A and B are shown apart, each in its own frame.
Chain A
Amino acid sequence: MSSEESVMERPTRSGSETGEVVLSARNVAKSFGSVHALKSVNFDIRRGQVTTLFGENGAGKSTLMKILSGVIQPSAGEIVLDGEPVRFSSTVDAQRHGISIIHQELSLAPNMNVRDNIFMGRELGGPGGVDYAEEARETERLMAELDEPIGPLTLVEDLRLGQQQIVEIARALSVNSRILIMDEPTSALSASEVEVLFRVIEDLKSRGVSIVYISHHLEEALTITDHAVVLRDGAMTAWAERSEIDLEWIVRHMVGDNFDLGSPPTGHTMGEVALSFENVSVADVAVPERSVVDRLSLAVRAGEIVCIYGLMGAGRTELLECAAGRVSASEGRIMLEGEDISSLSIAERIERGLVLVPEDRQRDGLVQTMAVGENLSLASIGAFTRGLLTSRGREQAVIEASIRNVHIKTDGGAAGIGSLSGGNQQKVVIGKMLATHPRVVLLDEPSRGIDIGAKAEVFRLLAEGASNGLAVIYSTSEVGECLSVAHRIVVMSRGRISAEFGADVTREEIMAASGESAEG
């Protein structure tokens, strides 16, 4: 059914004129409760051209993508497709209109072969069940079109990530998409695979397919884009053609002129080295010969806030998880206040004052089945245990102190975790770790998905901790954050430190340092 319809809608190469507007967003807004994720966004997508969305994490890019691809519906405004206002009730509905999305996390079934993945959910029927031969022929045709010789019967798990990306694209093409949304398609690709992808994009453009492209690699995106849309805090700050813009223009609009979350705390003296990495390497889980952290050395002093800036996959998470004891180092050692802690368990490291606030709070930070209070006290049970038993009163004191200290907006310790907003949930995770009275705290992208007010609160907490002698390592992919909180900024790329700056560095310098190394 759906494929027939989309066949009719398929753009004919001769009849259509490149550059004509196919899809436009008119005053599109979306709010989740009191959080305005997207405020009145306007832009056009033109036939056979690439429109890139720029913006930091939380700027609203993914919300916009979800609206365009039918995952969620806008709270206000409309989507205009070929001059007609449309409303996508689901991704299937959007696909029927020729809009496909390739997610950042690939959505292929690794245990199945390329052919079955491409036709998953819309298998071609034949007289004797599924017409595998026809599916295979179609797969081969798509692969030839994409100039990637992958056999239809190859298992997806045997493919390199870049090739898997190609399979995703083939799947999108097989439903005759005329608008293809690509969310960070290069984040997992090697340089040569990126080249292949860009060639495919050029080819798609020439066939009249419009591309909506999202990437954190600004330079990379600039090489292929025709239009740029810049988002900041849910609002569109700029919209221009490629010929009118440069890197500096994008950065200026991305981070804004008045983007200020305060400045690093000053006025206290820093103490001894609290935590140091000495030539630490961490092996890749999937490919043990490869190191995701490569002989890295770094030292943080008591009272110091060090930001690790880097793109996705730079090895920041692995470095912090290695310090916390989740993964073990394949080489080198980690010293906490002069003591080698490489062989200690997570619990022992927490006991010695080293804690990690993990990147993904849903997966690694919170126990959803427990109440706010139980989550807050989880890491410091020892503090309110006497003999074999826990003390209700002392636990309550710990919980209340945490709620007060990190300013969690909640009805009290008994409230369910699900009743809190994202920012408050993040504060629960931070509060839980701070309740253990750590001396070194590692934060892995703590500002992901929280609003600017909550972000400022997190920074205030860190500044307060630092002035009391807490050593902080803060990992982020947002430059503005580095500047507002860090005494020292370390740029990490491909598992190594590629540059190191003081607090007086500019945004452009940091971005350039990570951008250059990402290309090299």
Chain B
Amino acid sequence: MSDVQQGASSANASSPRSASGRSGGFDLGRILLEGRAFFALIAIIIIFSILSPVYFSTNNFLTMSSHVAIFGLLSIGMLLVILTGGIDLSVGSTMGLCGVMAGFLMQGVSVDAFGVTLYPPVWAVVVLTCVLGAFVGMINGVLVSIFRVPAFVATLGTLYVARGAALLMTDGLTYNNLGGNPEFGNTGFDWLGFNRLFGVPVGVLIFAAVAIACMFALNRTPFGRWVYATGGNARAAELSGVPVKRVQVWVYVLSGVCAAIAGLVLSSQLTSAGPTAGTTYELTAIAGVVIGGAALTGGRGNVRGTLLGAFVIGFLSDGLVIIGVSSYWQTVFMGAVIVLAVLLNSIQYKPRKKRAASTEHQKASPSSGTA
């Protein structure tokens, strides 16, 4: 009743209000719903801290964060793709392929024609690996935007091709010696995954840097606006002058680069590069994005949510390991969390329209009386 009156008084000033204008009893529910990933993370930390004495410590958080960094990087690239309404299933394989590529380059490239073996410095390895990731992403992007192959199918294909290429490169074996040799001047690869800067693992810092860059790109650059517009309504975006096709290619390229960075960090953490690294990581990455509140239909989602989503997954699975839950149960838990997240997504995005419509009705009747 009070809601209606409030609506009537505000209707005189202007037409229907946005979500912020609503007040009343369901506000708490609304806050819980919108900040669900955040509250889930808090709940996870509290529960595991109670269950295990070792969980709540800076060191453990840093260790868990460096695990989160790997698929968190994938999630951020995935977020860009999902925001445009696409999906990138190839990131896990791209990550594996890029790790192998890095391993291959660290072993030295022998050029038969000159009878020499080249040992590229670490920065060159990093750049070349990222270029490879970008290349795989570009193939995805071109397939999706120009040849109009459905994103699911195109990236599924790349998933297999990239994995196969990684296996071919190594003959199924793993590159173990990634430390480099001081004689060849290519040491320092382990810095990426092992070392700490100001007490924080470098991998986590890289993850944070990528996240901040992405946040900036999405919120403060034309490109970010184009990404949201493309995912929200590609036809309208195109007619507004948004280079929709170029945006689509770019998000896959960036996703590929993110996968390459993740591959570098992982192989550095493990000091080995195996061709099967990152298998099914694409699904974890998607789960992170979805738990973070992004809509798979595109146009909705943000970096903050995706970060929370990645941390929810990482802190939950590591917590389950710490308290000694069997890995079978871990899988069941992860699945349940993902389903729950998607369920909440549809609650958040669907009734919003209905609720907006009903408030419009409430307000429309008094305003029509005064008009």
Residues in A lying within 8 Å of B, measured CB to CB = 31, 33-34, 324, 326, 345-347, 350-351, 356, 358, 363-371, 374, 377-379, 381-382, 385, 388-390, 409-411, 414-416, 418-421, 424, 432-433, 436
Using A33-B361, A385-B222 as known contacts, say yes or no to A419 and B229 having CB atoms under 8 A apart: no
Check if A369 sits within 8 Å of B228, measured CB to CB: yes
Q: Which of B166-174, B204-212, B230-238, B315-323 lies at the interface with chain A?
A: B230-238
Using A347-B243, A389-B220 as known contacts, say yes or no to A366 and B236 having CB atoms under 8 A apart: yes
Check if B232 sits within 8 Å of A370, measured CB to CB: yes
List of A residues within 8 angstroms of B222 by Cβ? 381-382, 385, 390
Can you list 25 contacts pairing A with B, beta carbon distance less than 8 Å?
A33-B360, A33-B361, A33-B364, A326-B238, A347-B243, A358-B239, A363-B236, A367-B228, A368-B233, A368-B299, A369-B232, A370-B229, A378-B236, A378-B237, A381-B226, A390-B221, A390-B225, A411-B17, A414-B20, A415-B16, A416-B18, A418-B357, A419-B16, A420-B15, A436-B241
Residue ID in chain B nearest A348 by CB atoms:
B241
Check if B241 sits within 8 Å of A419, measured CB to CB: no
Check if A411 sits within 8 Å of B361, measured CB to CB: no
Check if B356 sits within 8 Å of A411, measured CB to CB: no
Interface residues of B in 197-256 (CB under 8 A from A): 220-222, 225-226, 228-229, 231-233, 235-243
List of B residues within 8 angstroms of A436 by Cβ? 241
Q: Does B195 contact A (CB under 8 A)?
A: no
List of A residues within 8 angstroms of B243 by Cβ? 345, 347
Check if A416 sits within 8 Å of B19, measured CB to CB: yes
Q: Give Cα A326–Cα B242 distance, bound, in whole angstroms.
A: 12
Apart from A364-B239, A414-B18, list 14 A-B contacts with CB within 8 A. A34-B364, A34-B367, A326-B239, A346-B241, A364-B233, A368-B233, A370-B299, A385-B222, A390-B225, A411-B15, A416-B19, A419-B17, A419-B18, A432-B240
List of B residues within 8 angstroms of A411 by Cβ? 14-18, 21
Among B17, B221, B232, B241, max chain A CB count under 10 A is at B241
Which applies to chain A's interface (DSSP): helix, strand, loop or mixed? mixed
Which applies to chain B's interface (DSSP): helix, strand, loop or mixed? helix
Q: Give Cα A458–Cα B231 distance, bound, in whole angstroms.
A: 29
Residue ID in chain B nearest A388 by CB atoms:
B221
Q: Which residue of the partner chain, among B19, B226, B241, B295, contacts A351 with CB atoms under 8 Å? A: B241
Q: Give Cα A346–Cα B371 distance, bound, in whole angstroms.
A: 41
List of A residues within 8 angstroms of B361 by Cβ? 33
Check if B15 sits within 8 Å of A421, measured CB to CB: yes
List of A residues within 8 angstroms of B240 by Cβ? 350, 378-379, 432-433
Q: Does B353 contact A (CB under 8 A)?
A: yes
Residue ID in chain A nearest B364 by CB atoms:
A33
Give, as a whole number of angstroms, the nearest-CB distance from A325 to chain B: 9
Q: Give Cα A410–Cα B222 distance, bound, in whole angstroms.
A: 24
